[in-house]
Structures are given as structure tokens and as C-alpha cells.
């Protein structure tokens, strides 16, 4: 049977979800292999080097850079407090001295005789990494962090904003075709993750922000509304660092697009359960898609759907059209002709014959996405 490989987004009912939880710099790992983790468990911590202050001692004291050493009252590596004298001139018969005080608490990192500058390092900044999802420690990466493993349902979105959030899943839209409106968002949804249908307006997102909803999963959002949320035009899809209380995960794309049936029903099945979500997206080499992880209570999991080899598009596969015309529609592959076909644009491409609502269409294979499920 002819088939073509088109990577799709994952919608998995039950999988072994693995995640690296790694420090930005080397440090201490606080858990060991096999430990059971809550999302809040701190798994590793370290200290980032503190901020640096540079003092132009030679300029302040009006002396030559090479004379700075003589004027110093401290040594390299010495701890100092704010207000401590760092350097002082001898003055005239001990009078008319001028001096330089430390503007911060920290240590003297270095002294330069070429430029007459003294470098002060402020106190280290502690950094901690939590588990993010409940599970167990599968592997310890020495001095760096861990790899966590969890039995979970796992869904990828196409695009998201804001980083990691946690909350219980609440179903708001009663079908994948329904818009999630501002009126439906109420104060008791604080800290929850809301499941919407086809669309979320800017007004509804703002309402969610105002009641501190933890996250929203929805089919579509308008591209031009992102500017009002982010404060700038989103030029490249690299997100995750936005300081927003409500993470947004769009599962289908920009515009009003019904959430795929598989995604919607899996979310619906898990209503009331705790989920961890991350809106971070990076569409470049090393693609990162936003994710929804719902840990499942089952000690022994017999199906590991993620480890299945990705299947290419085959006759009978369910696919979604990801570019106009027919954008967002779901269909079934009828055939995969091997020869190139000329499109209306005169582009010569490999196509798939797709049945959508009882009608057949020829669509470039590059414009199709596998709807990957573990059913």
C-alpha cells in the first residue's frame, strides 16, 4: 500500500510520558531513581552566578589605572557589604582622602590595572527545578537533573503562549464546534484548565486572565489578537517566556476551527483530573509544541502508545487539511497517486485523494496532517 510520512500532533490516551527536568547550570540533584514525585517536588537546585557591578575606581579617585592596586582596601575574592570602602587615596598628610564604597553586598571578583576597574559580584541567585508532572524518577542525570516518567494521557497543540501551569480540567464548551465565550468564564474557574471548542475571542481570553484561570485549551484563536495579548507582533513562533497567568494552547490553528474530535473527546474523558500544561512553542529546527499531560492512576500500564513507530499517511488514514482551501477539514485518504499532479497554482506536487463530507478532493500531501491517535 502506498504511504507517505506526514508527522502529526500526538493525541494519546495512555502513554509513558518522559520529560527531562534539567538545570541551566550544573548543580545538585535532590531526588534519586525511583522516587515518587508530585508536580511541586523540587528535583534539582543550583545557584546562578550573581549580577556583576563594575566600578571605575581609577576615574572616581582620579588616579592612574595602574595605581588602583595601591589604593585598594580589599583583596580579590574578599566578601564585602554595601557601604564598605573598596579603595581610598592616601590624601595629603592623611587628609583630603577620597574613597570608593561598595554599592552592593557581594565579593570582589577582579581588579584590572589596564582599565582601573573593580568587578564586584553580587550574591548568587538560587534556581530550582520542580517535577512539573507527577510520576517517578526514571533516571538521574548527574549534577544536572532527572528524567521523569509518568503514565499519562498526552496531547500536543499546534501553538501556545505562556509556560508551565497546572490545574484541574474543566469542560466549558459542550462540543468541539462551539466557541468558548467570555460569559462562560466565571470566578470559580480560578486555577483551572478550561476546555473549549472551536474558538476563543480576545475578550474571553482577557476575562480568563482577570479571574486567574491557569490555562485554556481551544481549537482556534485569531492571529491578530495575539498583539493585544503580547504587546507586540508575533514574528516567529517562539514562545513560552511570556509572563501571563493564563497559558493558552491552540490545538488547530489561527481562526475559528473546530477542535479535532480525538483531542476534544480525550480531554472530555479526563474532566476533573489534574493536568500539567506548557504553552512553550518553538517552530524551528528542534521543534517544540505546546503540551497537555494528564497523569493517569494506573500502576501497570500495558499499552505504551508513544513507543509505536509513527505511521505514515496510508489509504484509510484520517487526515486534516492544514492549508486553504478546505483548511481545518478532516477527511479520509482514498488513494495516494505516485505521479506529480498540477494544482490550480500550477505547482507540481505529490497529492493524496481525500474524501471530505462525501466529496473527493486532490490535495498536496504537504498540506495534510496525520491525526495521530492510539486507537
Partner 1 sequence: MSKKIKSILATDCGSTTTKAILIEWKEDRYKLTFRGEAPTTVEAPFEDVTKGVLNAVMEVEELSGRTILDGDKIITPDNGSSGVDIYVSTSSAGGGLQMMVAGVVKSMSGESAERAALGAGSIVMDVLASNDGRLPHEKITRIRQLRPDMILLSGGTDGGTTTHVMELAEILAAANPRPRLGQNYKLPVIYAGNNKAQESIRKTLGEISDLDIVDNIRPVLEQENLEPSRDKIHDLFMEHVMAQAPGYKKLMSWTDAPIMPTPGAVGSLIEMIAKKENISVVGVDIGGATTDIFSVFEGKFNRTVSANLGMSYSICNVLAESGLDNVLRWVPFDIDRSELTNRIGNKMIRPTTVPQSLEELVIEQAIAREALRLSFIQHKEFATSLKGVQSERTISDAFEQSSSGQSLVNMMELDLLVGSGGVLSHAPRRQQSARMLIDSFMPEGITQLAVDSIFMMPQLGVLANIDKDELKDDASQAALEVFDNDCLIRLGTCITPVGSAKPNSKMADVTLTFNDGTVKDIEINEGTLEMMEYPYEEVKVSIKPARGIDVGAGKGEALESVIYGGVVGLIFDGRNRPITLSKESSQRIDSLLSWSKAVDEYPKGEMF
Q: Which residues bind partner 1 (CB under 8 A)?
A: 25-26, 49, 51-54, 65, 109-110, 112, 114-115, 117, 119, 121, 158-159, 222-224, 233-237, 253-255, 281, 283-286, 322-325, 327, 343-349, 363-364, 366-367, 369
- Rounded Cα distance between 322 and 347, Å, is 17
- Rounded Cα distance between 62 and 57, Å, is 8
* Residue 177 vs 327, nearer CB to partner 1: 327
Q: Is 155 exposed, middle or buried (0-12, 13-18, 19+ CB in 10 A)?
A: buried
**Smallest separation, CB 23 to partner 1 (Å):** 10
* Residue 123 vs 343, nearer CB to partner 1: 343
**CB–CB of 110/3 below 8 Å?**
no
**Smallest separation, CB 262 to partner 1 (Å):** 18
* Residue 135 vs 328, nearer CB to partner 1: 328
* Residue 223 vs 308, nearer CB to partner 1: 223
Q: Supply φ then ψ for residue 231, to 5 degrees.
A: 90, 0
* Residue 96 vs 232, nearer CB to partner 1: 232
**Smallest separation, CB 147 to partner 1 (Å):** 13
DSSP conformational letter for 24:
S
3-state helix vs strand vs coil in the chain, percent to 5 = 15, 45, 45
Cα-trace Rg, the chain: 28
* Residue 22 vs 296, nearer CB to partner 1: 22
Q: List the alpha helices (DSSP H) in the chain.
A: 57-61, 68-71, 202-210, 226-230, 261-269
- Rounded Cα distance between 121 and 329, Å, is 57
DSSP conformational letter for 189:
G
Amino acid at each position: 500500500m502506498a504511504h507517505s510520512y506526514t508527522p502529526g500532533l500526538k493525541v494519546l490516551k495512555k502513554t509513558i510520558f518522559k520529560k527531562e527536568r534539567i538545570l541551566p547550570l550544573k548543580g545538585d540533584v535532590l531526588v534519586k531513581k525511583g522516587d515518587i514525585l508530585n508536580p511541586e517536588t523540587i528535583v534539582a537546585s543550583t545557584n546562578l552566578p550573581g549580577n556583576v557591578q563594575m566600578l571605575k575606581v581609577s576615574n572616581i579617585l582620579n588616579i592612574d589605572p595602574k595605581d588602583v592596586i595601591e589604593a585598594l582596601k580589599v583583596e580579590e575574592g574578599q566578601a564585602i557589604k554595601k557601604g564598605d570602602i573598596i579603595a581610598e587615596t592616601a590624601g595629603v598628610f592623611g587628609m583630603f582622602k577620597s574613597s570608593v564604597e561598595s554599592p552592593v553586598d557581594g565579593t570582589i571578583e577582579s581588579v584590572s590595572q589596564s582599565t582601573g576597574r573593580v568587578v564586584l559580584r553580587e550574591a548568587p541567585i538560587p534556581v530550582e527545578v520542580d517535577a512539573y508532572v507527577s510520576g517517578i524518577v526514571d533516571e538521574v542525570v548527574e549534577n544536572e537533573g532527572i528524567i521523569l516518567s509518568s503514565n499519562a494521557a498526552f496531547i500536543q497543540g499546534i501553538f501556545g503562549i505562556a509556560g508551565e501551569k497546572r490545574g484541574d480540567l474543566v469542560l466549558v464548551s459542550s462540543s468541539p464546534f462551539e466557541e468558548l465565550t467570555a460569559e462562560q468564564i466565571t470566578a470559580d474557574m480560578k486555577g483551572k484548565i478550561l476546555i473549549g471548542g472551536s474558538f476563543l475571542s480576545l475578550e474571553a481570553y482577557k476575562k480568563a486572565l482577570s479571574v486567574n484561570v491557569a490555562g485554556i485549551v481551544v481549537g482556534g484563536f485569531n492571529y491578530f489578537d495575539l498583539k493585544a495579548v503580547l504587546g507586540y507582533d508575533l514574528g516567529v513562533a517562539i514562545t513560552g517566556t511570556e509572563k501571563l497567568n493564563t497559558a493558552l494552547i491552540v490545538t488547530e490553528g489561527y481562526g475559528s476551527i473546530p477542535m479535532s474530535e480525538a483531542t476534544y473527546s480525550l480531554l472530555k474523558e479526563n474532566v476533573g483530573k489534574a493536568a500539567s500544561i506548557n504553552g512553550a512553542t518553538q517552530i524551528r529546527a528542534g521543534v517544540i509544541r505546546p503540551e497537555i499531560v494528564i497523569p493517569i492512576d494506573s500502576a501497570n500500564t500495558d499499552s505504551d502508545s508513544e513507543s509505536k513507530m509513527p505511521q505514515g499517511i496510508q489509504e484509510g488514514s484520517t487526515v486534516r487539511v492544514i492549508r486553504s482551501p478546505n483548511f481545518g477539514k478532516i477527511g479520509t485518504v482514498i488513494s495516494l497517486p505516485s505521479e506529480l499532479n498540477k494544482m490550480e497554482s500550477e505547482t507540481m506536487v505529490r497529492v493524496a485523494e481525500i474524501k471530505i463530507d462525501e466529496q473527493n478532493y486532490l490535495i498536496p500531501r504537504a498540506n495534510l496532517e496525520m491525526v495521530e491517535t492510539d486507537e
